[in-house]
Amino acid sequence: MKRIVRHMPNEQYHESDAISHSGIVQALRSPEHFENYKNAGSTATVAKEFGSAFHSFVLEPDLFSRDYAAVDEALLTGTLATLDEYKAAATQLGVKFEALNKDELKAAIKDAAANLQFKFKDDVQAEMAAYTAEKLAGALSSLDELKQAAESLGIATAKLKKDDLKAAIQAADTESKFAFREDVQAACSLLLQQKLVGALSSLDDYKFAADELDVKYEALNKDELKAAIKAADTESKFKFREDEFNRLYGDKTILKQEQADALAAMRASIFSHAGAAKMLSKGEAETSLFWTDERTGLPCRIRPDWMQLNYPSHPVFMDGEWHGMADLKSCVSASKEAFAKAVATYGYDVEAAFYIDGMKEVTGKTVDFYFIAVEKTVPYSTACYKASQEMVEVGRAKYRGALELLKWCQDNYTYPGYQPNGEVETIDLPRWAANYETED
C-alpha cells in the first residue's frame, strides 16, 4: 500500500514495522543487528537527543516550543531547592524537623495513645512518690510518736521497747487509726514494683511504642519536610523549585543554556546560507511515506526532514523555487571532504538512494536529495550538498542488497550475525597498520 501521511507523530512513525533507512544500515552490518534494532529500537544518546532538538528547532518551531525548553533561572528565584533551604523555611514556620529527643518522643506517644495503652516509668515513679508522701503523712516513726499513740490507746509505755510498743499499738488499734512508716514504705515499694511492670523506660522502649503508634521520631527526610512545610504554610509563603519547575516546564525535554544557544546559532547559520534558506523557504517537514517494495514484498518507509514537490518538470531551482528533499545534518565538520567521509561512515548514500526511490514509488516524482550540513560548534558553519548520481547508484546497490538479504532472512526465519556458519577466520592488520617499522 502506498500512502503519504502528514503530521504523523514521530513516535508513531518509528513504531511501524516497515523497513527504514536506519534499519537498512543495521542490516548492512548483519541481519542480527537489524533484528536487534527492530526489536529493541535505537538507543538514546546525548548526540541523538541534541539532533532531534536541532531538527525540531529549525524545521518545526511550534513543536519545539511544545516539547523543549531551556530553564529560565529567573523564574525560579526564591524557590526552595536544597535541604538547608527547606530547614530554614521550616524554622520560620515552627516546624520540627530534627529527630525527637526522649521528652519530645514521650509527648508524641502520649498524644497518639488516646487509649493510654502505654505508661512511662518516670510518670509511675512520680505518681507513686506523691502517693507515698501522702500515706507517710502522720505515720509513726520515732519512739516518742509511738509512745504518744500508745498513751492515747491507754497503753502503759514504761519499759516497753520500740518493737514491743509497735506490737502493743497494733493489737489495741482496732480502728486502724495509726500506720507505721516502715510498713507504709514497704507497701508502697511493693505497689511501685507492680505498677512499673511494662512501663516504658529506655529510649528504645519509647521507639518501640512510637513504631506501634506510627509516630514519626527520626529526623524528617527531604520529602517529609516538604510535606510538613506545605501543611504549616497556610499563607503560601514558600514555593518549591521542583513544583515550580514542573508547573513551568511539565514533560518538556530540558536543554542546557549552552545547548539552546548552540541551536540558535546553528539556525541563524542555516538561514544565512543562501542555498539552505532557499530550500527551507517553502515545503513541508517530517512527512511520512509508506510503500511495499515490488521485488521483495517488504514494507518500507521514509520520513524526509524537508520536501517540496510542487513543480512542473525536473527538480531543480526553477523560477526562484527549489524542489526536492533535504536532510538536515548536524556534524563536526561541514567541509566537503569531512562530510563525504561522514556519508560513507553513517550510510547517508544509502539514505539518499532509498529516499529518492521511495519518493518515486509513492508519488511518481523523481527528485534530488540534498544535505544541509551544519557544524555543532563555533562558528557553526553551514554547507549544502546534492547527492551525486554516483553516490545514489552506490547507495541503491547497497539498499537493494540489504532488502534481498532481509527477504531471505524472513523466509528462512533466521537472522545470522557476521559468521552465519560459525566459521573461524584468519584476521590481518588493516593495511595502514601493517606499514609499521621498528626503530634501530
Nearest to 306 by CA among 286, 331, 330: 286
Tell me the range of 41-45, 120-124, 398-402 where mean pLDDT is highest.
Answer: 398-402
Give mean pLDDT, residues 375-404: 97
Q: What is the pLDDT of residue 117?
A: 76
Which neighbouring-strand residues pair with 357?
A: none
Cell 536529495, residue located: 369
Tell me how many degrees the CA angle 57-264-334 measures, rounded to the nearest 5: 90
Residue 435 has pLDDT above 80, yes or no: no
Q: How confident is the model at residue 310 (pLDDT cuts 50, 70, 90)?
A: low
Express each pLDDT in 193-240 by its tens digit: 998 898 889 989 888 888 888 888 899 899 999 999 999 999 999 999
- Cβ atoms of 35 and 235 closer than 8 Å: no
Residue 315 has pLDDT above 50, yes or no: no
Nearest to 402 by CA among 17, 42, 22: 22
Least confident stretch, 7-16, 66-75, 339-348, 426-435: 426-435
Q: What is the pLDDT of residue 314?
A: 43
Residue 159 has pLDDT above 80, yes or no: no
Provide the residue ranges of all domains of the chain, joining segments of one domain with +: 3-71+256-412, 99-232
Residue 321 has pLDDT above 80, yes or no: no
Q: How confident is the model at residue 382 (pLDDT cuts 50, 70, 90)?
A: very high
Least confident stretch, 46-55, 109-118, 212-221, 387-396: 109-118
Q: What is the pLDDT of residue 318?
A: 45
Domain range 3-71+256-412, CATH architecture: Alpha-Beta Complex (3.90)
Q: How confident is the model at residue 116 (pLDDT cuts 50, 70, 90)?
A: low
Express each pLDDT in 254-269 by its tens digit: 999 999 999 999 999 9
Give mean pLDDT, residues 94-122: 84
Q: What is the pLDDT of residue 437?
A: 65
